Homo-oligomer: A and B are copies of this chain.
Amino acid sequence: MELIKFNYKDTALLDEGEVAEAASSLSGYIGHLNEVTKAGGYDSREASLNLPFDEDTLAKVKTLASAKKIDKLKYIVVVGIGGSNLGAMAVYEALFGTLHTVLDGEAPKMLFLDTNNPKLLLDIKNTLSGVEDKEELLINVISKSGGTTETIVNFEALYAYLKENIKGIEDRVVVTTDIGSKLYHKAEEVGFDILEVPKNVGGRFSVFSAVGLFPLALAGVNVEALVLGARKERDACLSEDLEKNPALASAVLIHLHHKHGISIQNSFFFHSQLETVGKWYRQLVGESLGKQHNKQGNEVRVGITPITSVGSTDLHSMAQLFLGGPKDKFTTFISAKTVEDKVLVPNKLVFDGLVDDISGKSFSDVMGAIYEGVKKAYEHNKIPYAEAVLPDLHETSLGQFLQFKMIEMMFLGELLNVNAFDQPNVEDYKKETKKLLSV
* A292 neighbours in B (Cβ, 8 Å): 323-325
Residues 339-375 of A, flagged 1 when their CB comes within 8 A of B and 0 if not, give 1111111100111111111110111111111101110
Instruction: Give the interface segment out of A51-59, A64-72, A80-88, A236-244.
Output: A80-88
Please pick, from B98, B287, B312, the residue contacting A320 in the complex, using a CB distance under 8 A. Answer: B287
A85–B114 CA distance with the chains assembled, in angstroms: 27
Q: A160-B346, A303-B326, A358-B149 are in contact. Are A429 and B81 (CB under 8 A)?
A: no
Residues 32-71 of A, flagged 1 when their CB comes within 8 A of B and 0 if not, give 0000000000000000000000000000000000000000
A301–B354 CA distance with the chains assembled, in angstroms: 32
Q: Does A20 contact B (CB under 8 A)?
A: no
A24–B170 CA distance with the chains assembled, in angstroms: 64
Chain A interface size band reads 35 or more
* A27 neighbours in B (Cβ, 8 Å): none
CB <8 Å contact, A437 and B376: no
* A346 neighbours in B (Cβ, 8 Å): 156-157, 160
Q: Does A5 contact B (CB under 8 A)?
A: no
User: From residue A273, how far is it (CB to closest CB) to chain B in Å?
Assistant: 6
Q: Please name the residue on chain B nearest to A351 by beta carbon.
A: B186
Q: A147-B354, A354-B182 are in contact. Are A157 and B344 (CB under 8 A)?
A: yes
Instruction: Give the interface segment out of A118-126, A215-223, A247-255.
Output: A118-126
Please pick, from B100, B302, B355, the residue contacting A326 in the complex, using a CB distance under 8 A. Answer: B302
CB <8 Å contact, B290 and A437: no
CB <8 Å contact, B321 and A272: no
Please pick, from B290, B312, B372, the residue contacting A325 in the complex, using a CB distance under 8 A. Answer: B290
Instruction: Give the interface segment out of A396-404, A406-414, A418-426.
Output: A418-426
User: From residue A421, how far is it (CB to closest CB) to chain B in Å?
Assistant: 11
* A339 neighbours in B (Cβ, 8 Å): 118-119
* A333 neighbours in B (Cβ, 8 Å): none
Q: Does A102 contact B (CB under 8 A)?
A: yes
CB <8 Å contact, B182 and A426: no
Residues 99-111 of A, flagged 1 when their CB comes within 8 A of B and 0 if not, give 1111110000101
Q: Please name the residue on chain B nearest to A317 by beta carbon.
A: B283
Q: Please name the residue on chain B nearest to A192 by beta carbon.
A: B350
Residues 251-278 of A, flagged 1 when their CB comes within 8 A of B and 0 if not, give 0000000000001100000011100000
Q: Does A165 contact B (CB under 8 A)?
A: no
A383–B103 CA distance with the chains assembled, in angstroms: 44
Q: A153-B358, A424-B324 are in contact. Are A287 and B437 (CB under 8 A)?
A: no
CB <8 Å contact, B312 and A279: no
User: From residue A418, how far is it (CB to closest CB) to chain B in Å?
Assistant: 10
CB <8 Å contact, B115 and A149: no
Q: Please name the residue on chain B nearest to A204 by beta carbon.
A: B317
CB <8 Å contact, A118 and B340: yes
User: From residue A102, how far is it (CB to closest CB) to chain B in Å?
Assistant: 4
CB <8 Å contact, A341 and B118: yes
- Of the A-B pairs whose beta carbons lie under 8 Å apart in the complex, a sample of 18, sorted by A's number, is A103-B126, A104-B127, A115-B312, A120-B273, A146-B354, A153-B363, A157-B346, A190-B350, A203-B316, A287-B320, A301-B324, A301-B325, A303-B325, A323-B428, A356-B434, A369-B433, A370-B429, A380-B428
Closest 7 CB pairs of A and B: A82-B316, A290-B321, A303-B325, A373-B433, A290-B325, A324-B425, A373-B432
- Contacts A98-B120, A117-B272, A320-B425 supplied; 5 other A-B pairs, CB < 8 Å: A118-B342, A152-B355, A182-B354, A369-B436, A377-B428
